Structure formats: structure tokens, C-alpha cells
Chain A
């Protein structure tokens, strides 16, 4: 295999210098992109060790994003489930309504340091596109966002937000017209603009150094949870839960706790119509290792290595791959990966709205569905922290007719 596994006295050492988490990760891109990717890596390593970079990040986190986000005890859901205590990490309260801005701010500041003024991004649900368009407006950068034509239709409010923010939304009609195809098209476009454009990848996937860089920018989520829960309860969480598409909100919550053995960690994939139906987006539960979009990771694919279409009601989870670090955490057994169906997520969406006055995005509704299936069995002093990584306003068009159909509304 291409690399040696890092010494396993820690789950937090990865990746190695070539971007490998065990056999996963790497740099599987066309030669045209290699010089640029090496340049991004060099710039990131320099920035990572530069206190001025982090001071600038801290400024924007506090005054623009609105961090730290609240850690909120959810009393009525806790009572409803009747077991352990449920806390929400309120990353839906960030400026732009999701965790995506945490990463975008880091990459935009990096692009600025590299002297790049033209930005491209891919987006599924539109949250990453909106966050990128926002940062570009803030820093006066040109912004083009690639979005599957299917997603342009089902996430119209976010398309309009991006346009208002001055970004150009490029609908992608190749393949299944969703997130995977948007990423293909963004990579194709980047190849033709490699010398002038910076690609802000939205999830903890893609070629090295992206998975590590995105994780580092999102890890603020877990770092805050650690001190916030210490203040609130004087202890570590017992259970962490987050939804997984590419997995950036999840790795951001999980990574600071990977070496805390007492903390049980669950990643929730989208099971769509059910794993057995074949129509799902659960790469770890229903896929196997392969190479796509610059990294080796678990993928939904057929016996011939052709990538198959993912299915999820949530555009943000509708991706046939997953960040490479999750593949490694899956195989090492440190994190358990489970799944929730479209229907489970819709029920959780309605429940959270009614009981807590919080309309969650469809993505974290998957995490909540899993929480609902297990928290009732926990003792009352056990603490579950779930990342409520996005707000649900963008999903109403898709959700309302389904909830009416199900008799939930």
C-alpha cells in the first residue's frame, strides 16, 4: 500500500506527509492541478504555524461568524426521549446558518494570503455555496459556485442568496446533476484556471491537504464543546453524534475527542429509502473503498468501479463518497457509523421544530433521528452532544409537502 499507517497511540496524528489516513486520502488528481495543490499545502502549513493567521481567524470567528456557538441543553426533547441528557451544539446559529462558514473563512483567508482573488466552490444543499459567496463578498473576491441542476431546483432560496451576495451560480447538468457532478465540474474548471483561482472545497474530502485543512478549520466545533460542557456539567460528553455527507461538521465535532476513550462517537449517514433499497447515500454502510475526487475513500460504486448515484432527501448528504479520515476512523473502529432514512429524518425535523422551537436542517435531522433511537436507553446522567449543524429554512419547500403526506403536519 502507498503509505504506512501512523503509530496508533493517537487517533489525531493523521494524515501523514502525503495526506494518507491509513490507506485512505492521498492526492489523486490530474498533473495540471498538482503544482497548485502543492502550493496550497505549503501555504497552509505556513499559515497553520503563524499566530497572525489564527488571530485573524479568531477576529472573524468572533465578530463575523458569531462564535462561540451556543451549547444548548434541549429539555423537552430530553424529556420526550426519556433517557440521557441531550445537548445541541448550535452551529446553525452561525452567520449564514450552518457550520460551513467555519471552513470557508479559513480557506478564504488562506486564498487572500496566497494573493488569489478568484474563488470557485461546489455546493450541494447550497450552504457551502452561500458561505463561500458570503466570504467573497466580505473580502471583495470573485466567486463562482458549481451546483447540480437538480439541487438548483430543490434549494432555490440558497441560489437566490448566492446571487444576492454577488456570486455566479453555475448549474451542472452532467451525470446525476447533484453534488458529485458539481464537484467534477468544479475540478474541470479549476484545471483550466489553476494559476489564478483558489478552490474552496466544502467538505473534508478532495485531495490532500483539503481533508486535513477542512478538519482543522471545523475542529473549533469540538474544541468549544469541550470547554462549554466542562462549564455546564463539569465533565466530558459520553456520546457525540453528527450527520455525515462528506463529513466536515462531524470531523469538526469528533476530532478533538478522538483520544478520549470514554467518549462514544457516532456518525450518521443518510439511508435514503433504506440501505436495502439501494437508494441511499451511506458510503460506509453500503459502499467500499475506491478513488474519486482526489482521494481514496469509501464510495458507492458498482463491481466495475463506476460511481453510482447517491440518494437522500437532504441535498447536503447526497454524495456517493465520504471524507477519507472517516473511512479510516470506520476501519479502525474508533467511530461507529450508522444511518437514518429520509422518513426518520423528516420525523425528527418535525419533532425538533415542535418541541424545541428550532427548525433544523434536513442534514442534522438525520443525526437527531439516530439520537432518538438510542438516547432513551441511556442512564439519566449520560450526556449526548449532537451537532445541530444547520438551520432548516432552506428545506421547507422540500419538507412541508412530505410532512403533510405523512400526517406530521
Chain B
């Protein structure tokens, strides 16, 4: 099965026409439980998310800070798995045919699920791209090239340590958008350094015309607005899963406040992004 939906391209074109950055929201599939996670996911576009980074839970998320680690753990504890991740995406797609969903995670659960089976099922479920943190260009034959062959965008990460010499290697086979990691560090542990991001994006744009999303360290409306002046998309993760965490009851179960806590944060961030260039 080949990917033909191109929801990322459509979305970035629309954002360009509106002259604003998009808001990408990260959640982990099945956090804090399958039902609540689906309810959160369905509420994201209405709250102002333009794109969803959909985390595939993993026991050993090596590029993630404590917030996303805890999110993965909550999902796994509630029975999270690749099968359930894809089922949640499928359920989301029953109602939403336009919001791009990029699957984000680590390679091992994909490798164990089986690369070809994964690509078939992910495309069928309605995924619009892949971000796999521990697959640098040196390992392109594992998943990137098979995905590209099916037309499914493989979104690469560029970081503050990706210099001009290495950048062409990173950009080769990158599609959908380029994800610029704003800090040399793991998710959610430092605040986005706006000046450095502005300089980095200017440098990246000399090498590519592909849209650039920026993530790692955006937590507030103000930060989203600042990044939104220079990036094509702002991606927020740790603050979102922290909002989920803070809404849970004493035993870690979802409460009546959980979905609302996320949508309130997303609405706030969306306002930041939408006002960035006005």
C-alpha cells in the first residue's frame, strides 16, 4: 500500500497562505489510558492543533526527558502497544480526514512489529509521516528508504550539532518537513533559545525549501509566539503530557478534567502561534 494523502503538504500550504506557523502537539498514544487518549486526540484540532505528533510508547526513550518518559510509562502501564497505537490512529481518522498525524518514537517497537507490516498498517491507519529518533541517515536502509518508497514522508531531525558539512546528509531523503531540535539535549528540559533558533533557521533555509518545524523546549504561549515568527511550525510535547499528568487523580487515573486541561493549554498555545506574525 502506498501513501497518497499528502496531508502535511496541504496543511503547510494552507498555513503559508494564512501567513502563520502551525502548531504541532505531541501526545503519547494511550496516555493515560486508551479511551482518554483518543478523546484528547479528537479534541486537539478543535483546540487549535494543526498537526499531531503521535508518540509510539517505548520503555527506553533515550532522547526524552522525564515528562515524556513518564508519559510513555503511563501508556505502557495501561496496556499500550504498537497495535493499540495504530488502532487509536484509525479511530481518530474515522472523524478527521485532514489533520496530519506524524508517528514519533524509537525504532525497536517498529523493528519488532516488522518494517513492511508497520508501513502497511501505519499508512492504512492514516499516518502522514514518521519521526524515528534513533534512526540517523547512516541507518536509512532500515526504515527511511522503505517508507520513502511507499511515499510516506520520513521527517528528519536537525540539531544544533548538525553543522553545514553534515546538513546535506540529514536533508537527503527528508520529506514532509524538517524537525529542528532547538536545544542540544533531551525533550522538555530547557527553554527554547529564540535567538539561536532564529540564526539556525536562517542557516537551514540556505540549504532547503522544505517547511521547518521547531520543537524541544517550547512550553508557553509566549515561546510559541516567538518561535512562530520564524518557524513553519511550533511543536509542543512535554508541556502537554505534563498537563495530562497534573490532571490525574492520586492513583494516576484520568479525571473529568484531563481532556479539558489539554485543550485549555492547546488553545492558549494556538493563540500564541496565531498572533505571532500580526
Contact = CB atoms under 8 A, between A and B. Distances in A.
A188 B107 CA distance: 17
Q: Which of A180, A191, A292, A305 has the most CB of B within 10 A?
A: A305
A18 B58 CA distance: 26
B76 interface: yes
Contact of B60 (A1, A184, A296, A303): A184
B148 interface: no
Contact of A34 (B113, B166, B189): B166
Contact of A305 (B111, B139, B163, B185): B111
B169 to A, nearest CB: 9
Q: Which of B62, B82, B109 has the most CB of A within 10 A?
A: B62
Interface string B152-165: 00001111111100
Nearest to B163: A35
Interface residues of A, number: 39
A296 B106 CA distance: 13
Interface string A1-27: 110000000000000001000000011
Contacts of B87: none
Interface stretch (B129-137, B200-208, B261-269): B129-137
Interface in B40-83: 57-60, 62-66, 69, 76, 81-83
Nearest to B162: A31
A28 B76 contact: no
A34 B185 contact: no
B62 A184 contact: yes
B110 interface: yes
Contact of B184 (A28, A192, A299): A192
Nearest to B159: A32
B186 interface: yes
A188 B81 contact: no
Nearest to A299: B108
A174 interface: yes
Interface string A291-315: 1111010010101111110000000
Given A290-B111, A301-B108, A306 B62 contact: no
B158 A305 contact: no
A27 B138 contact: yes
A165 B109 CA distance: 40
B162 A28 contact: no
Given A192-B189, A291-B107, A304-B82, A30 B63 contact: yes
A292 B60 contact: yes
Interface in B111-126: 111-113
Given A35-B166, A290-B112, A305-B109, A188 B65 contact: yes
Given A290-B111, A305-B113, A192 B186 contact: yes
A304 B139 contact: no
Interface in A266-321: 290-294, 296, 299, 301, 303-308
Interface residues of B, number: 48
A212 B240 CA distance: 41
Contacts of A35: 161-163, 166
A191 B185 contact: yes
A150 B188 CA distance: 26
Given A194-B161, A306-B58, A188 B186 contact: yes
Q: Which of A30, A175, A180, A187 has the most CB of B within 10 A?
A: A30
A28 B139 contact: yes
A187 B134 CA distance: 12
Nearest to B85: A304
B134 to A, nearest CB: 5
A31 B170 contact: yes
B185 A301 contact: no
Contacts of A26: 138-139
A294 B138 CA distance: 12
Contact of B138 (A34, A184, A290, A293): A34
Nearest to A304: B81
A263 interface: no
B108 A291 contact: yes
Contacts of B141: 1-2
A36 interface: yes
11 contacts: A33-B161, A35-B162, A175-B59, A188-B186, A291-B107, A292-B60, A296-B111, A305-B82, A305-B108, A306-B57, A306-B109
- Top 9 nearest A-B pairs (CB, nearest first) are A305-B112, A192-B185, A305-B109, A306-B59, A32-B159, A304-B81, A305-B108, A30-B63, A28-B134
